[in-house]
Amino acid sequence: MAAGILRVVCYLNQFFGQLGGEDKAGVGPQVVDGAVGAARAVQQALGDAGTVVATVICGDNYAAEQAERATAELVTLVAAARPDLLVAGPAFLAGRYGVACGALCAAVQRELKIPAVTGMHAENPGVELYRRQVYVVQTGAEATRMLPEVQRLVALGLTLARHEAVGTPAAHGYFARGVTRNVVADAPAADRAVAMLLDKLAGRTFVTEVPRPAFPPVAAPRLLKTLEGATIALVTDGGLVPRGNPDGIEALNATRYGAYSIEGKSSLDAAQYDNPHRGYDTTWVKQDPHRLVPVDVARELEQSGAIGKLHETVYSTVGVATTLAQSARMGREIAEKLRAAGVDAVILTST
């Protein structure tokens, strides 16, 4: 094969691979030389730039019901064809097919280090599952305009296979992968801000440069006991640690938290504590740790019977520049430990 001509493998379900309809949805992974079914549109879109060397096909039910096995078998078939690029689908609005396309693209990228591209309708569940890992080109709901849809998949696929710079989601028509990259804009930020404000004031449409975050609303649960019978824990992201920071909690962008015993302590001795937090002025907390973690008052409430019991472990981390993913993980782990220890409520002090 001449240099510069790319080897392409296509992935299709039983329907687009022309094995049959729903009655053939249970067939396992198989490979056909060259382009069959919808893969012929891929070959047409490739023109002289590449050759579809094989078409890999799997039934929708087989792919959905034993997903891990199907993906592993398909990766082996793809690897044997030694492609430079995998084109999966497009799956349009077909859910099982879309998820299988996403899973195979992700696995081929990860395990074979071969670029992959797929295409789906915005409401295909495969989009939300795989758009962060895989380039998913937006298509219509049905295969009524197969060639133009496939042309966009192939255009992006060629860019990936040639290791060229990929443009914006809007330019290539793929679903945003949710990653950010610094670029150089046409105008300074100040000019863009004033222009955007004028648009907003005039009621014209404007496009914000930062999407609103999808923070899920978390409703505070109701305490099912009276306070007099409840065990209360103290948790903070304000960075209080024992002197020497034994868990090595990071000063910012934390990935660790500590569990520190307050058993037998009616208060915290400032000399025994420290604070690595780099997001606020820690002077006053270092001077008196109760300003952040009020063990003294909580013990008084415990003594007087206002609360049932103070949990003997304080959980602490540093909450500054912490990623959403790490925050969610640490919060989940701390909550599981508190629940396992029979804690009924938490006083969470932040800074």
Partner 1 sequence: MRLELSWSVVGEVTAGPATRLVGQRLEVDLDGLRELLSADSRLARIRLDLAHPGERCRIGRVFDVIAPRAKADGGADFPGVLGGVARAGQGRTSALAGVAVVATDQQTDNVGTLAVIDMAGPNAALSAFGRTHNLVISAWPSPGTERSDYLAAVRLAALKTAVHLARTARETEPDRVEVFELPPSPRVPPALAHLPRVAYVFQIHSHQRPTGLDEGILYGDPVRRMLPTIVHPNEVLDGAVLRGFMGRSVTTWATQNHPMIRALYAQHGRTLWFAGVVVTVAQATEPERVRSALLTASLVAHTLGADGAVLTKIGGGAPHVDMAQAASQCEALGVKTTAVVEDMSTDGSAEGMLLFDFPGVDALVNVGSSQEPITLPAMDRVVGADDLAPKLLGETRATYGGLCGAIEQVGTTRVMAEVR
Q: Which two tokens stand for residue 168?
A: 């914006």
Q: Which two tokens stand for residue 49?
A: 């730039």
Q: Is 324 in the site for partner 1 (CB under 8 A)?
A: yes
DSSP letter, residue 110? I
Quick count: other Cβ atoms within 10 Å of Cβ 151?
17
Query: What length is written for the chain?
Result: 351
Give the C-alpha separation, 123 to 138, whole Å: 10
Quick count: other Cβ atoms within 10 Å of Cβ 227?
14
| Stretch of 23-31, 60-68, 106-114, 193-201 lying at the interface with partner 1 (CB under 8 A) | 193-201
Strand partners, 56: 11, 31
The count of chain residues that interact with partner 1, using the rule CB under 8 A, is 49
Nearest alpha-carbon partner for 260 in 245, 271, 270: 245
Give the C-alpha separation, 223 to 332, whole Å: 19
Q: Which is closer to partner 1, CB of 185 or CB of 340?
A: 185
3-state SS class at 138: strand
The binder of partner 1 chosen from 129, 196, 230, 346 (CB under 8 A): 196
The binder of partner 1 chosen from 2, 3, 185, 224 (CB under 8 A): 185
3-state SS class at 146: helix
The binder of partner 1 chosen from 82, 162, 200, 225 (CB under 8 A): 200
Q: Is 33 in the site for partner 1 (CB under 8 A)?
A: no
- Is 5 within 8 Å of 48 (Cβ atoms)? yes
| Stretch of 46-54, 99-107, 192-200, 218-226 lying at the interface with partner 1 (CB under 8 A) | 192-200
The binder of partner 1 chosen from 21, 47, 188, 342 (CB under 8 A): 188
In the complex, the smallest distance separating the C-beta of residue 138 from partner 1, rounded to whole angstroms, is: 14
Q: Which is closer to partner 1, CB of 60 or CB of 274?
A: 274
Give the C-alpha separation, 289 to 269, whole Å: 8
In the complex, the smallest distance separating the C-beta of residue 323 from partner 1, rounded to whole angstroms, is: 4
In the complex, the smallest distance separating the C-beta of residue 292 from partner 1, rounded to whole angstroms, is: 12
Q: Which is closer to partner 1, CB of 142 or CB of 288?
A: 288
Q: Residue 129 corresponds to which amino acid?
A: L
| Stretch of 12-20, 106-114, 120-128, 198-206 lying at the interface with partner 1 (CB under 8 A) | 198-206
Q: Is 191 in the site for partner 1 (CB under 8 A)?
A: yes
| Stretch of 14-22, 189-197, 223-231, 268-276 lying at the interface with partner 1 (CB under 8 A) | 189-197
Give the C-alpha separation, 127 to 160, whole Å: 19
C-alpha of 329 from chain center? 13
- Is 134 within 8 Å of 116 (Cβ atoms)? yes
The binder of partner 1 chosen from 48, 68, 164, 186 (CB under 8 A): 186
Give the C-alpha separation, 185 to 209, whole Å: 11
Q: Is 146 in the site for partner 1 (CB under 8 A)?
A: no
In the complex, the smallest distance separating the C-beta of residue 187 from partner 1, rounded to whole angstroms, is: 7
Q: Which is closer to partner 1, CB of 210 or CB of 340?
A: 210
| Stretch of 3-11, 142-150, 155-163, 320-328 lying at the interface with partner 1 (CB under 8 A) | 320-328
Q: Is 306 in the site for partner 1 (CB under 8 A)?
A: no
- Is 288 within 8 Å of 345 (Cβ atoms)? no
The binder of partner 1 chosen from 72, 80, 259, 321 (CB under 8 A): 321
Beta strands of 237-333 (E only): which ranges? 241-242, 258-261, 273-274, 309-310, 313-316
Tell me the HSE value of 261 on the side-chain side, using a 13 A CA sphere.
2
The binder of partner 1 chosen from 23, 66, 145, 253 (CB under 8 A): 253
Q: Is 218 in the site for partner 1 (CB under 8 A)?
A: no
Q: Is 303 in the site for partner 1 (CB under 8 A)?
A: no
| Footprint on this chain of partner 1 (rule: CB under 8 A) | 166, 168-169, 176-194, 196-198, 200-202, 206, 208-215, 252-253, 279-281, 283, 320-325
